[in-house]
Structure 1
Amino acid sequence: MTAGRRSETAGFEEHRLDNGLRLLHLPVRAAPVALLMLTYEVGSRHEAPGMRGASHMLEHMMFKGSARFHRRHGNSIHQQLLPLGAQVNATTWYDRTHYFSLVPRQGLDLVARIEADRMCDLSLDAADLETEKAVVLNEYDRHLGDPLERLHQAVWRAAFARHPYGTPVMGVREDIQAFERARLLAHYRTHYRPDNATIAVIGDVESEVAMDIVHRRFASIAAAGGAPQATPPEPVQAGERRVTVACPGAPGIVMLAYKSPAGADADLDVLELLGLVLAGGRLSRLHRRLDAAGLASETWTAVSRLREPGLLQLGAVVHRERAHRQVEQAMREAIEDVRSDGVAEEELARAKARARGELLTSRDGPLAIAMQLNEAIAAGDWRLYAAAVDRIGAVTAADLRRVAGRYLTERALTVGYLADGQDRDTATQ
């Protein structure tokens, strides 16, 4: 048989089938289990107006059945896998949709058969679609009931006026309600194909066994080919943007969101450490400054590792008797200090230790490894996972100062306020 190309990096074996499907294999001997994760490089970034939320809807429909695995045959996906004690789930994000099953290792071939069948022969019944639209709309409403999620969505919408990253991954209500089988099927056929997918097999299974199973189940599926779908470019931000979300009873929150580089850019590793220096725990710059002044009780940082440029977000929970503008000003001053003077080696060492520790402790077992690997695949290079610890170690204090000067600028800033609707001092005009 032909298995295409093969290479090895950091314990992973990488194979490429002739139809373009990538296989990553990593042996993990802690227990006699195997995890199969299938990552498709399609998410909300690939959706045009009218189809916003299509990738998330397809994720739901993929569990409704395919030609050979369907409840009408008495062998639905859950009927097959749950009796094995399997952990089965899926998620959708901006750049990818992934499906995973953690099973006793003897169940690996069954998982591969299921994934191969729904890769090329999804049922997508119209009646099931109508039922599932109600499920998704209920999930959509639950998300909007979370004040912090509403702030997050408002900030991304303001920061990305044209790019699809400005639309929630779940989509918008009017599009979800209007989904029809034919258009969803076209979205499925465009993106669900072997040359747009990566299979990871992680666990107590030999490379030859994993390769044989994947080849037998997937090699006959034809590649679709064609150029990747272009994403509408986001114009360069030329000035500060502001948004306020009023939600009765919500805590006061100030969020500063700066445009960040794409996930595979080395500057993003630096920016992630910079975020930890600023808002990574009680010894961080923002927490010490805001807490000492009685302005905020909590700070945090989040950086998006996406295929295209995203956001670095810095947040603070405003003390009830304080004003949002006071907190924002103190945050800006702390950031300007870093831009002007850089950071101390001690601060950098602390941020590196936290970042490395979080990476290593979150790689405990096949499922945890797969979750991190999945995000590296979505960002454009699975080897980002393998090299993450070394990249963190290579960052210098000079890098932090350079990156702060480049990215933490007012012209690339979106300011978000979450308020309870009664605080007049949250005005953004």
Structure 2
Amino acid sequence: MGQHLPLVGAGRPGAELTVGQDGATIRRSVLPGGVRVLTEQMPGLRSATVGAWVGVGSRDETDGHHGSTHFLEHLLFKGTSRRTALDIAEAFDAVGGEANAATGKEHTCYYARVLDEDLPMAVDVIGDMVTSARLDADELETERGVILEEIAMTEDDPGEVVHEQIAAAVLGTHPLGRPIGGTPDTIRAVPRDAVVEHYRWHYRPSTLVVAAAGGVDHDRLVAQVGDALVAGGWDLDPDGVPRDRRPGVPESDGVPTEGVELTVHRHVEQANVVVGTTGLSATDDRRFAMTVLNAVLGGGMSSRMFQEIREKRGLAYATYSFSQGHGGLGLFGLYAGCTPARVDEVTALMVAELEQLADGGITDAELERSVGQLSGGLVLGLEDSGSRMSRLGRSELVLGELMTLDESLARIRAVTADDVRELAADLASRPRSVVRVGPFGE
């Protein structure tokens, strides 16, 4: 089965933990300064994916800094003291590699996929970006326009709008309720000084996790990461320790105690509707029961929502349930896209399926089928180095532990029908919000 890895705070700087898993080897080291390096060596793979995870997301922004996290995702590609933006782009293009970044509500990741022989280059370039971003004033103003266009593109997608609005409706003024990319007003308002301050405060050794998977040698990567950070001018204090996972903000802080209803006008052919409520935090012990609940309720073509709303009644093309877990808080929702005239009917059907699950639970056949679906999806989802790299980074920054594949499968298989029914009853009892996006009022 392999060894279970407790991650956050485990070991002194330089300590290593190893675990064998389905032919791969996972190792973890804590460098001076608190930088964490995790690798998963996958035998026979000639490529590798490496990511620099910074433990800062949109929820960490303070007044006057809103939008800074997303701004930095763009600006780190715009040049350092050693490289221009073109140098960064050419470094990866020259070896057929891919580089990108993603901003989340709790972390930001800069990552690249390259041949194993080009991994030192990728580490050096990404390390340079993270430690030595120039944050040029002219480039910032250019990217301000680019980000505003990105937000406008999102606003033109009713599916994106309904999911952003349900988060705001359910979570209220809680930091997790804010859009990741900021709003047009916050992007226009944030000054360069605030972005620079956000960068200097949050981009530091104690918040950095470097994760790599594929054809990677752990000891070499540790040395390469250390060299890159020192070259970037970071002070790797031997007494530095990793920043622990955020403890999580109580759900009551800014979260409405009653559900709300919101209708957003968009001139589109199809309406999008989400029914949402607070869900489970990322570390809640019931998160495995939640995966089974989602599989039964709205996780595939055999799910109750899909069968009732699409297959039996033909009322929607797409319908599903979803769960998002964060530190101290989560979001749970039911989605459908349908003809505007059928929104109320489809909304009632989605709610009815959740309430029936809460009242009557699931059958043994549904439990068996969902466990098989989740087990197969978990294994298939770890077939590439990118997904394994992401699992390492998320485990370190969000979960605080790394389960082996066998352990994860065992936790899924341990879920009972009573676990699912009790969780469904809990979710069904919570304040419920509804957001509709479509040509209403025309």
Tell me the CA shift for residue 385 of structure 1.
7.4
Say if 1:121 and 1:152 are closer, same or farther in 2 by CA, change over 3 A: same
Which residue does the alignment assign to 1:330?
A: 349
Tell me the CA shift for residue 376 of structure 1.
3.5
Give the one of 406, 414, 424 matched to 1:394.
Answer: 414
Calculate percent identity across the aligned residue pairs: 26
Tell me the CA shift for residue 299 of structure 1.
1.4
Which residue does the alignment assign to 2:16?
A: 6
1:412 alignment partner, SS class: coil
Tell me the CA shift for residue 230 of structure 1.
8.5
Residues 60-85 of structure 1: CA deviation (Å, up to 9, x unaligned): 000011122225xxx72112222011
Give the one of 148, 155, 164 matched to 2:159.
Answer: 148
Which residue does the alignment assign to 1:191?
A: 202
1:273 matched to 2:292: yes
Tell me the CA shift for residue 133 of structure 1.
0.9
2:32 alignment partner, SS class: coil
Whole-Å separation in 2 of the counterparts to 1:38 and 1:48: 23
Give the one of 193, 206, 221 matched to 1:210.
Answer: 221
Which residue does the alignment assign to 1:415?
A: 434
Residues 354-383 of structure 1: CA deviation (Å, up to 9, x unaligned): 222222222222123223444444423251
Say whether the 8 Å CA contact 1:297–1:319 is kept in structure 2.
no
Q: Which stretch of structure 1 is more off in the superposition, 31-40 or 90-99?
A: 31-40
Residues 95-152 of structure 1: CA deviation (Å, up to 9, x unaligned): 1100111122222222222233233322111111111111111111101110111111
Say whether the 8 Å CA contact 1:275–1:314 is kept in structure 2.
no
Give the one of 90, 96, 108 matched to 1:85.
Answer: 96
1:118 matched to 2:137: no
Unaligned runs of 5+ in 1: 424-429
Root-mean-square deviation (Å)? 2.5
Whole-Å separation in 2 of the counterparts to 1:83 and 1:217: 20
Give the one of 43, 48, 57 matched to 1:34.
Answer: 48
Which residue does the alignment assign to 1:247?
A: 266
What letter is aligned with 1:147?
P
2:80 alignment partner, SS class: coil
1:346 alignment partner, SS class: helix
1:304 alignment partner, SS class: strand
Count of residues paired in the alignment: 417
Whole-Å separation in 2 of the counterparts to 1:69 and 1:403: 52
Q: Which stretch of structure 1 is more off in the superposition, 275-284 or 229-238?
A: 229-238
Which residue does the alignment assign to 2:8?
A: none
Which residue does the alignment assign to 2:67?
A: 53
Say if 1:293 and 1:109 are closer, same or farther in 2 by CA, change over 3 A: closer
Give the one of 355, 358, 361 matched to 1:339.
Answer: 358
Whole-Å separation in 2 of the counterparts to 1:61 and 1:389: 40
Which residue does the alignment assign to 1:67?
A: 81
Say whether the 8 Å CA contact 1:373–1:382 is kept in structure 2.
no
2:333 alignment partner, SS class: strand
Whole-Å separation in 1 of the counterparts to 2:133 and 2:385: 27
What letter is aligned with 1:37?
G
Tell me the CA shift for residue 238 of structure 1.
2.7
Residues 178-234 of structure 1: CA deviation (Å, up to 9, x unaligned): 232221111001111121011112121322222222233336633687898897655
What letter is aligned with 1:151?
V
Say if 1:407 and 1:347 are closer, same or farther in 2 by CA, change over 3 A: same
Say if 1:150 and 1:80 are closer, same or farther in 2 by CA, change over 3 A: same
